[in-house]
Amino acid sequence: MKKWLMAVVFGSALVLGACGGGGDDASDDGAATDDAGETTEETASAGEDIYKSNCAACHGQDLSGASGPALDKAGATYGADEIVDIIQEGTGSMPAQKQVSEEDAKTLADWLAEKK
């Protein structure tokens, strides 16, 4: 009975931990760009906020990875459109992130694409 209870408690903690990250003050090491290719602090801040709310629990507060892979150099491997597809469709062991709106996925992908 104790093993079952511990499994339920651990499983619950795992699920709740994946629902969002804490309020870490990780610095932004890449700025996002607008449609004209100009840096926008508003987009960078929005991308970072979306990341912290939806991704940091698995990918780390500072993009260094945790249970999911590091994303600190995501832009070196993927373009913004590919990142949107990964967010919306999932890949490997990462499930599709249906709680992230299409607009937020685009903002997040633009922010991550700048990480090289």
Domain limits of the chain? 2-113
| pLDDT higher than 90, residue 23 | no
**Is residue 59 a known part of a binding site?**
yes
**Is residue 58 a known part of a binding site?**
yes
The pLDDT of residue 35 is 53
**Is residue 1 a known part of a binding site?**
no
The pLDDT of residue 102 is 96
For residues 93-114, average pLDDT: 96
The fold of 2-113 is Cytochrome Bc1 Complex; Chain D, domain 2 (1.10.760)
Question: Considering the chain, what is the average pLDDT of its residues?
Answer: 81
pLDDT tens column, 83-96 = 999 999 999 999 99
pLDDT tens column, 29-57 = 444 455 555 546 776 799 999 999 999 99
Q: Where are the alpha helices (DSSP H) in the chain?
A: 2-17, 41-54, 56-59, 74-77, 80-89, 102-113
Coil, strand or helix: which one is 92? coil
**Is residue 19 a known part of a binding site?**
no
